[in-house]
Structure 1
């Protein structure tokens, strides 16, 4: 079922670009892996999670494909801007959009995706959804996009600070990573006819999963083995294990971390200095425990919405695999 859902979401995205001949849309197609030079298995995890939950709610998911594509277009907008912001030359083991066409045209492509997302979501009316449901779905999508931008603002603002509190980190990570996950779950609940209380629970599930995902990504930055895994560290992003280390560090450890983070430019060798300092404070296990706690909280939220254990496990398997949570 998941493979079929994924194929249908990708087909819906392809149809979004097929009739548009301006090279701008070729750039968008490249990002999603639809061109010969970019042919890849693009992970449409927001759309797949959204449609899977609709199916779990025993509602026809095929009619909601435009909304699934809209979610992926907003996610693409975020990814393109993230790559430019971080100077990431590759995404998913191929050249990033900005690396080929330059930052200015990549920004055009990303912003164009955001506009296309709203136009694509409007196709829900042609699939039998009422104007009211369609409007609310677009409203959820717009709020998620804005919240994602707010999270990125917080993230950039924290780069030159070392005194980041866990509360500030949680707000940033929940907004940056949890907004679209929450949107996918709330939109599924909306389409399935869930009440306001259930929609609020689903939004909370998404926030917990998003925060767990962000912490997992931060751990990959410090302990990952892929070539691009340390870029956010080198950009001085305040990673969860470092934030927690600062809470329990003594004067000596704080000075060691400050010596690194107050440098003008970080280098690969600085990673080992930070790891030597924070690993003695037990923050790796602390991070793993926090991820487990957040995922357990999300599962309990799903149960309160009325999902039995089998359905919760099915949905969480999809979400975990799509978001690469540890």
Structure 2
């Protein structure tokens, strides 16, 4: 992923409010500095996943990317707020290959930093000088609705954590909201940044759905990686270890005979899951020949849905083609 240097300068200026430690912690979270305030030369691309997607969407609809900087900054800072709060909530000690804000500064400072990031994310939208009042209200509405959907998803995720069985459809609904809502926000704000004087609510609604499906697919792939990857990122394994529900356990608890359900159920009665528990689940999944077909069919279903949604957009063929390529590359 390429880092846009002009955008980096914009984002850094946005969060450099004053010398209060809050903003040093924010710079740490956004990947520019280490815990001692020393500059980091090589930015982890994962720190810019959502802003990069928003900039890519913007480029499909226009050439002046600077118009999209407030939007891209807003969604990236919002995502960081989500990460910081989530790390406190779940006790995640590592984020993007280094200690999380919670682990370095403690829960109180981490919660405060997450709140500060949310405020900065919203203020970023107000920094745009190219928006009409109508477009600004639309941008704020998109932002707030996306964050509310994310909060709904978090609520479901927390509730499901201790549930013995979570049905597949319920899990997918949670995934659409968490993190699908943030991807939907990227697609909408990217489009709006280049069409602030002529945006169409119907197109925004469809782009939101496309983005949501892209986010759901990425979440499916991340969950499935727990079965396939040898070296999981700490934050991914931590979700498994803390009994957060995933697509393969929902499938096996719906599809298997009572003896297998009993084995998996006993694992999930533990307080914290460990590597040997994952090994048992991997073995159980490998013996269930239906899971791979189920997973591939589910992925293809959502990919086809994305393509159909793009085909129904009222844009020219070139824009639709670029949206298809982008959506395919993201998933």
The normalised TM-score by structure 1 is 0.90
The correspondence for 2:123, drawn from 119, 125, 129, is: 119
**Deviation digits for residues 120-179 of structure 1 (CA, Å, limit 9, x no counterpart):** 11011x2x2112211210111111112111101100100111221112101111101100
Q: Secondary structure at the match of 1:213?
A: helix
* Residue equivalent to 1:206: 211
Given that residues 154 and 172 in structure 1 are in contact (C-alpha distance below 8 angstroms), is that contact kept between their aligned partners in structure 2?
A: yes
Distance 1:45 1:267, change over 3 A: closer
The correspondence for 1:28, drawn from 26, 29, 33, is: 26
* Residue equivalent to 2:265: 258
Runs of 4+ in 1 over 6 A off after TM superposition: none
Distance 2:247 2:7 in 1: 33
1:103-114 equivalences in 2 (<5 Å): 103-114=107-118
Q: CA RMSD in A?
A: 2.0
Given that residues 161 and 244 in structure 2 are in contact (C-alpha distance below 8 angstroms), is that contact kept between their aligned partners in structure 1?
A: yes
Given that residues 58 and 190 in structure 2 are in contact (C-alpha distance below 8 angstroms), is that contact kept between their aligned partners in structure 1?
A: yes
Distance 1:237 1:284 in 2: 21
* Residue equivalent to 2:5: 7
Between 1:305-314 and 1:278-287, the stretch displaced more is 305-314
* Residue equivalent to 2:322: 311
Distance 2:157 2:71 in 1: 28
Gaps of 5+ in 2: none
The correspondence for 2:68, drawn from 41, 64, 67, is: 64
Gaps of 5+ in 1: none
Distance 1:219 1:30 in 2: 30
Q: Secondary structure at the match of 2:252?
A: helix
Distance 1:265 1:54 in 2: 43
Distance 2:103 2:270 in 1: 27
Distance 2:323 2:273 in 1: 42
The correspondence for 1:164, drawn from 166, 169, 172, is: 166
Given that residues 310 and 324 in structure 2 are in contact (C-alpha distance below 8 angstroms), is that contact kept between their aligned partners in structure 1?
A: no
**Deviation digits for residues 246-272 of structure 1 (CA, Å, limit 9, x no counterpart):** 221111111111111122332221111
Matching of residue 278 in structure 1 with residue 278 in structure 2:
no
Count matched residues: 316
Distance 2:51 2:142 in 1: 14
